[in-house]
């Protein structure tokens, strides 16, 4: 499981922001360890992300119950290192945070955790085709959002 | 009308990762909690030494494995998963005492290890030979494969005694480097003969 820790932490930062990601990370691995001897883990990686996704959802639910809404979008890209795009990063990630939850998760699983569509499907509890669609829809929404009149989009 | 970012720009911006150190720190804190909750069966850490980086692992009962850099650490961890438990965690704090005694040994300040040992990776005659070695061949002394076989109650089984040395799950601590060929030749060593020479020099058996 150790070998997946960077990807899991990256995924969680993309889902709940970097301040909250560590709690979710600990919960994810502790749950996995509790279940491990009994869990029928065909694909350990996909299974870990299934747990991580659930922890992120639990976190959002707990967050929604709290009286003051926790700070969100801008913090999302903090602690994530770009491996390709340059100054676009912060802006794109702020928009990722605004996507419907399933698309946000699909995008994070695809690009941050580098999962295959089949694994994304099992983490999101849907078919491979549906996973592919979620990534696709997410990308389309982002393309639209990034050029919205924030004055910061590319010409 | 403005154009959106190209697909490759967008995907490039989305391909981000966390730095490994942050993940390592998070994993360490998680490991501490897991150990507190009794969720891990094997804790491991790496220790730098003059003979290269060692991987050390322990269970609740004590030290269970020491391996040299000549063995792939990945393979050793897999062995622990298969032979002991899948709940193997990197937890350096759990190995502090092991690390301290090893450092003292390599500094020449420790002649005898006082660690609790978990022998579960050795079975039968091999385990018998290795325990005798641990108990009866002190720092700075040597024995032959034949003597080890005799000590374990089977004087003619010197070949089996040799293979017991080769199977030693805790080299350095269980001192198979002190076992030499009957004629006084070095015999073999899992980590390579240079390592064996180094350890024998450290203990004053071989001249500097």
What residues of B are in contact with residue A8 (Cβ under 8 Å)?
23
| pLDDT tens digit sequence for A54-89 | 999 998 887 777 654 444 444 555 666 665 545 556
Last residue of a domain, one of B106, B133, B150: B106
CATH code for position B189: 1.10.10.10
Per the CB < 8 Å rule, is A26 touching B33? yes
CATH topology of domain A2-146: Butyryl-CoA Dehydrogenase, subunit A; domain 3 (1.20.140)
Structural domain total, chain B: 2
Looking at residue A30, what is its pLDDT?
92
| Complex confidence, ipTM | 0.78
Residue B27 and residue B10: Cα distance in Å, rounded?
Answer: 30
Higher pLDDT, B77 or A39: B77
Within a domain: B54: yes
Is B176 annotated as catalytic? yes
The per-residue pLDDT for A75 is 54
A80 to chain B, any CB pair closer than 8 A? The answer is yes
User: pLDDT at position B87, please?
Assistant: 83
DSSP-assigned letters across all residues of B157-194? -HHHHHHHHHT-SSTTTS-GGGEE-TTS-----TT-HH
Q: Which of B176, B179, B180, B199 is catalytic?
A: B176
pLDDT value at residue A35: 83
| B99 and B181, same domain (yes or no) | no
Best to test chain A binding among B16, B26, B27, B72 (most A CBs inside 10 Å): B16
For B151-174, the pLDDT digits (tens) are: 999 999 989 999 999 999 999 999
DSSP string spanning B70-132?
TS-HHHHHHHHHHHT-S-EEE-GGGGHHHHHHHHHHHTT--SS----B--TT--HHHHHHHHH
In a domain, B6, yes or no: no
A35 contact B CB<8A: no
The whole-number pLDDT of residue B34 equals 87
Which of A111, A115, A145 should we substitute to test contact with B (largest number of B Cβ atoms within 10 Å)? A111
Contact status, residue A128 vs residue A118, Cβ threshold 8 Å: yes
Domain residue limits at B153: 124-202
Q: Give A85 to chain B, closest Cα distance, Å.
A: 4
Among candidate residues B106, B141, B169, the one where a domain is terminated:
B106
pLDDT of residue A69: 46
The mean per-residue pLDDT over the stretch B88-103 comes to 92
Residue A36 in contact with partner chain B when CB distance is under 8 A: yes
Same domain, B78 and B128: no
Co-location of B102 and B134 in the same domain: no
> Residue B80 falls within a domain, yes or no?
yes
Examine residue B4 and state whether it is found in any structural domain, yes or no. Answer: no
pLDDT at A41: 58
Query: How much is the pLDDT for B4?
Result: 66
Task: Give the domain CATH number at B63.
Answer: 3.30.160.70
Confirm whether B128 is domain-assigned: yes
pLDDT tens-place string over residues A105-139? 999 999 999 999 999 999 999 999 999 999 999 99
Each domain of chain A, given as residue ranges in start order, spans: 2-146
> Do B92 and B130 share a domain, yes or no?
no
Does residue B39 sit in the same domain as residue B78? yes
């Amino acid at each position: 499981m150790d070998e997946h820790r960077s990807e899991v932490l990256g995924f969680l930062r993309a889902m709940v922001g970097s301040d909250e990601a560590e709690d979710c990370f600990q919960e994810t691995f502790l749950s996995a360890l509790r279940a491990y001897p009994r869990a029928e883990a065909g694909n350990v990686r996909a299974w870990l992300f299934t747990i991580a996704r659930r922890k992120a959802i639990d976190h959002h639910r707990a967050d929604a119950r709290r009286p003051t809404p926790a700070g969100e979008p801008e913090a999302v890209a903090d602690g994530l290192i770009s491996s390709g795009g340059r100054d676009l990063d912060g802006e794109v990630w702020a928009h990722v945070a605004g996507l419907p939850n399933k698309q946000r998760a699909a995008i994070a699983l695809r690009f941050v955790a580098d999962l295959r569509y089949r694994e994304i499907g099992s983490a999101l509890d849907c078919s491979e085709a549906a996973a592919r669609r979620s990534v696709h829809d997410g990308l389309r929404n982002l393309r639209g959002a990034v050029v919205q009149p924030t004055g910061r989009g590319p010409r | 009308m403005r154009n959106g970012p190209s697909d490759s720009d967008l995907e490039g911006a989305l391909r981000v990762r966390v730095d490994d150190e942050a993940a390592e720190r998070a994993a360490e804190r998680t490991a501490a909690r897991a150990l507190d909750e009794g969720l891990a069966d094997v804790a491991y850490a790496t220790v730098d030494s003059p003979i290269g980086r060692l991987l050390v692992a322990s269970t609740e009962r004590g030290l269970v494995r020491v391996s040299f850099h000549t063995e792939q650490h990945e393979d050793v961890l897999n062995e622990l998963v298969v032979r002991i438990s899948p709940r193997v965690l990197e937890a350096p704090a759990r190995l502090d005492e092991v690390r301290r005694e090893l450092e003292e040994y390599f500094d020449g300040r420790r002649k005898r290890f006082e660690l609790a040992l978990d022998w579960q990776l050795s079975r039968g005659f091999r385990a018998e030979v290795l325990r005798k070695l641990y108990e009866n061949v002190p720092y700075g002394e040597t024995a032959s494969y034949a003597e080890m076989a005799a000590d374990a109650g089977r004087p003619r089984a010197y070949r089996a005694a040799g293979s017991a040395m080769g199977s030693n799950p805790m080299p350095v601590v269980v001192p198979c480097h002190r076992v030499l060929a009957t004629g006084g030749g070095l015999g073999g060593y899992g980590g390579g003969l240079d390592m064996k020479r180094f350890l024998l020099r450290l203990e004053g058996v071989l001249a500097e």
